[in-house]
Structure 1
Amino acid sequence: MTTLLEARVADAGTSVPGLGLAVYDSQDRKVYEHMVGDFAPDRRVAVASASKMIAGTVLFEVIRQGHLSLDSTTGQMLGWSGDKANITLRHLLSFTSGLQNEHLCTVQAGITLADCVATIASTNPVAPPGTRFDYGSTHLHVAARMAEVTTGKSWNTLFRETLATPLGLPEDVTYFTRPRQAQGITNPLIAGGLRTSMNEYAPLFALVFHKGRQAGREVGTPELFDAQAREPFPGVVIGNSPVKDLSLPFRYGLTAWLQCATPAEGCDVISSPGAFGWTPWMDREAGYYAILGMQLDRQDEGVVGFSVNLSGELQPLIRAALGR
């Protein structure tokens, strides 16, 4: 693994100044760690779309507490009308809501998440709910607003109470509108606004690996984490999809990419790679989870391709090292 990491960074030249890999076994022991170049395990960066799976964990806890269900609708929770009133939380978490997948308000600091979602509510949908997959930021913005309305708490308060405080994470580990600049907390980018380090992301990711039951903590339910690893609407048309652009066959569950041949039945390998290269994944069958940490300056298919392809090369090496 070390040879591969160093070779890939060397091959990439100045476009990849550094990265790190940490691997944890099913007992949460760090069994491998290696840094290349200028990266470090305690360096806090914007993790982009690796924020999505953590947001899903917060929402699973809101469901466990009885405030929402996967079948809660925007009509019930937000007062939306027409066809958009039938959008469920399940649609939103699987990016099959039929909403336009992006809106500029999601990266606008100085407004509230409620302001942005009100703007999203006025846009025209691109498809009926449950018929089209479009990867993007609007879906989770709406989901988070449903959680805010039903609990009476802001998104970052929910994140802090549900995950950050129980795990002992500092105040600076939070969701921002512009995470690279650590700016804006009233309209946090739910789909990509988390700032954290590898060491701080690990306990968040461990909770997902253990399906919300870890070290005496209970977050969400095992059934919700099982649902996360299944594609809820297998017959959807694939619209915007960064993995399709990379010619990869992955499908999508609830805030997680599914890396297996039977996504409708469930996958042991799920992931949440981000636009700046940060790529966490887990393999429950092999008994490990891993974090490929980096924050690259470019934000394009080349960055995502680099990190996703590298994670794919690493997976059989990790399984072999663990004797799987």
Structure 2
Amino acid sequence: MCKKTVKYCFGFAGLVVAMVSATASAASTNVATSMRAYAATQTAIRNPACVAIKPFYWEIGDQTQSLVSGSTGDRSYQADTLMPIASASKWIFGAYVVQARQGQVSDEDVAALTMSSGYTNFGVTSCIKILPGVRNSQTVAQCFQEENNRGGHNDDFNADAVGKFYYNGGHFQKLAVDMGLGADNKAALQRDMQMYLGTDFVFTFGSPQLAGGVNTSAANYAVFLRKILSKQLFINDLLGAHAVCTNPQTCATALHTPVPSNLSWDYSLGHWVETDPVSGDGAFSSAGAFGFYPWIDKTKTFYGIVARKGEPGSGKDSAQCGGLIRKAWMTGRVQ
């Protein structure tokens, strides 16, 4: 049953999609909102790239509200399902830094947030602790000093990597320490970041690592994306700013990337810019290792999310599906 606030309500083979009435942003092209919703829905249900990753929840919205959403497969993922979002945490930290700097980032901020600062040895599992007492008390600085299974310590510095893109959480951890967050455990880290991002954006940290420790839901992450679109956060003006190339096969200043070698994306302040010359559409995104994939289209009009928890490395598959849903929405054509 559709609620009174819903303008359109579709049902497709176990998938319920509710789309609220569009705001002026949806009128930015001649594509009817109903066509967008139908195309996005059918793509999420039927495109092989999306069928391959179900079950998942997906959503598209603008700066004020969700416009269309759905839950595929067994409907085990919903808007309020909590999950670790892994590297989708990076966009949150990037926005925090820009907000704390009131939009005026330093050269050091840019180097860290574009993963070019030389801290390339952070091990993502080294700060995940089993004992609750240790887990709850560990600080950002302690996490940065941990030994890891890569050999050495998380805070090892590689002078040869300075000025070159190397995808690794060490850059963010070092910047957090430099910004005075070193003594924060995961609860204090959440509070300190919400001072700048707003308490209406609800999230927690599973471990005090800035590049991958956040737990949240699609509904809560959507609040964050809407705040970017509505310019409540300074990072709106810096989406895509200071971007660096990331594919070692096509870029002389790139050393390591998790993106498939057939894609040449750029990396901005804690987020990807999907600029591949063949398949890219310029969207801003931040895929997580387990398959949580948020995006904002290049016109900064719409946001989208694919939310699920898959196996490590699932982010690229969610990005492929999510990009197709985005294309369907933007064009009004099923992909």
What's the TM-score, normalizing by structure 2? Answer: 0.71
Any conservation in 1 of the 2:285–2:294 contact (CA below 8 Å)? yes
- What pairs with 1:171-320 in structure 2 (closer than 5 Å)? 173-177=203-207, 188-210=208-230, 213-214=231-232, 219=233, 221=234, 224-233=235-244, 237-243=253-259, 245-260=260-275, 269-285=283-299, 287-296=301-310, 298-300=311-313, 303-320=314-331
Residue 155 of structure 1: CA displacement?
2.5
Equivalent in the alignment of 1:63: 101
Residue 232 of structure 1: CA displacement?
4.2
Any conservation in 1 of the 2:240–2:268 contact (CA below 8 Å)? yes
Bigger radius of gyration? 2
Question: What are structure 2's unaligned runs of at least 5 residues?
Answer: 1-39, 130-134, 147-152, 246-250
Equivalent in the alignment of 2:35: none
For residues 288 and 65 of structure 1, the distance between their equivalents in structure 2, rounded to whole angstroms, comes to 22
Distance 1:157 1:65, change over 3 A: farther
Any conservation in 1 of the 2:274–2:285 contact (CA below 8 Å)? yes
What's the TM-score, normalizing by structure 1? Answer: 0.73
Any conservation in 1 of the 2:176–2:182 contact (CA below 8 Å)? no
- The Cα offsets for residues 175-211 of structure 1, whole Å up to 9 and x where unpaired, read as 221xxxxxxxxxx12111111111111111112233x
- What pairs with 1:154-173 in structure 2 (closer than 5 Å)? 154-165=188-199, 167=200, 169=202, 173=203
Determine helix, strand or coil for the equivalent of 2:194: helix
Determine helix, strand or coil for the equivalent of 2:101: helix
Equivalent in the alignment of 1:83: none
Any conservation in 2 of the 1:228–1:253 contact (CA below 8 Å)? yes
Equivalent in the alignment of 2:165: 133
Any conservation in 1 of the 2:81–2:217 contact (CA below 8 Å)? yes
Any conservation in 2 of the 1:100–1:126 contact (CA below 8 Å)? no
Question: What are structure 1's unaligned runs of at least 5 residues?
Answer: 72-87, 178-187
Residue 121 of structure 1: CA displacement?
7.5
For residues 206 and 222 of structure 2, the distance between their equivalents in structure 1, rounded to whole angstroms, comes to 19
- The Cα offsets for residues 260-286 of structure 1, whole Å up to 9 and x where unpaired, read as 369xxxx95200011111101111427
Amino acid aligned to 1:3: Q
Residue 10 of structure 1: CA displacement?
7.8
Any conservation in 2 of the 1:42–1:198 contact (CA below 8 Å)? yes
The answer to whether 1:117 aligns with 2:155 is: no
Aligned length: 268
For residues 161 and 20 of structure 1, the distance between their equivalents in structure 2, rounded to whole angstroms, comes to 29
- What pairs with 1:89-104 in structure 2 (closer than 5 Å)? 89-103=109-123
CA RMSD after TM alignment? 3.0
